[in-house]
Amino acid sequence: MKILVAVKRVVDYNVKVRVKSDGSDVDIANVKMSMNPFDEIAVEEAVRLKEAGKATEIVAVSLGVKQCEETLRTALAMGADRAIHVETDAVLQPLAVAKLLKALVDKEQAQLIILGKQAIDDDANQTGQMLAALMNAPQGTFASKVEIAGEKVSVTREIDGGLETVSLSLPAVITTDLRLNEPRYVKLPNIMAAKKKPLDKISPADLGVDPAPRLKVLKVSEPITRSAGIKVSSVAELVAKLKNEAKVI
């Protein structure tokens, strides 16, 4: 079974992002970038499935600017067998990403597609679902446990009321949640070995997809600063403030 894993280059989760002065976007100049944390979990799960003998090949895919190659090298160091970089300077929105991934799935004939449930930059949580719809394939979102038996994939997913287990027929799409696994620490020998693994570069045109944005961002702004909390000396004072100042009662 071939597994295709999508990884995205995003601002590192430890970095506090700033909005550009013109409000057009966030400022990523000279900012540390890394693999989307949910996609790290996706790569780790694919590697574990291969180690368990459930998969024969792992193909890591990233879409975007030239620097995405660094993200793919990280995926290769974690255990992916080869990588594909769809290089483009266009602003990629979830629908365009889903269309590009669909074209790659058709080209690679992958049986299982794993990606993070969302990216921490836009928090869209749309790509996996859109990809499954375009493929007309079953999907298991917010996966906290994945088990493969023959041509079936059992996915335990987190829902508001607890856990739900669904059975999917291959090919299928899975999006990973935080509690699925803990990504392994990449060792130096693996980083060096990753430099020798194949990494192919193609363009959206090669896949017959137009990645032009369908949505226009009107404005990006920082959230309103919340006022500090205060202590009250009595229940009567609390009620008075809730009624007269907060006006919630």
Domain range for 149: 2-224
In this prediction, residues 14-28 reach a mean pLDDT of: 84
- Residue 74 pLDDT: 94
Is 229 domain-assigned? no
DSSP state of 149: E
In this prediction, residues 129-149 reach a mean pLDDT of: 94
pTM of the complete model? 0.85
Is 152 domain-assigned? yes
Is 241 domain-assigned? no
Q: In angstroms, what CA-CA distances link 236 with 227, 228, 240?
A: 22, 21, 6
CATH code of residue 131: 3.40.50.620
Closest C-alpha among 63, 12, 62 to residue 33: 12
* For the chain, percent of residues with pLDDT exceeding 90: 67
pLDDT exceeds cutoff 90 at 246: no
In the chain, how many H helices and how many E strands?
A: 6, 13
Is 246 domain-assigned? no
Is 214 domain-assigned? yes
> What is the band of 227 on the pLDDT scale with cuts at 50, 70, 90?
confident
- Residue 90 pLDDT: 87
In this prediction, residues 33-53 reach a mean pLDDT of: 94
Is 166 domain-assigned? yes
pLDDT exceeds cutoff 90 at 19: no
> What is the band of 16 on the pLDDT scale with cuts at 50, 70, 90?
confident
pLDDT exceeds cutoff 90 at 26: no
pLDDT tens readout for residues 161-177: 889 999 999 999 999 99
In this prediction, residues 111-138 reach a mean pLDDT of: 93
Is 234 domain-assigned? no
pLDDT exceeds cutoff 90 at 18: no
Q: Structurally, how many domains does the chain consist of? A: 1
- Residue 24 pLDDT: 80
Is 243 domain-assigned? no
Q: Which residues of 109-119 are buried (b: 16+ CB within 10 A; e: fewer)?
A: ebbbbbbbbbb
pLDDT exceeds cutoff 90 at 226: no
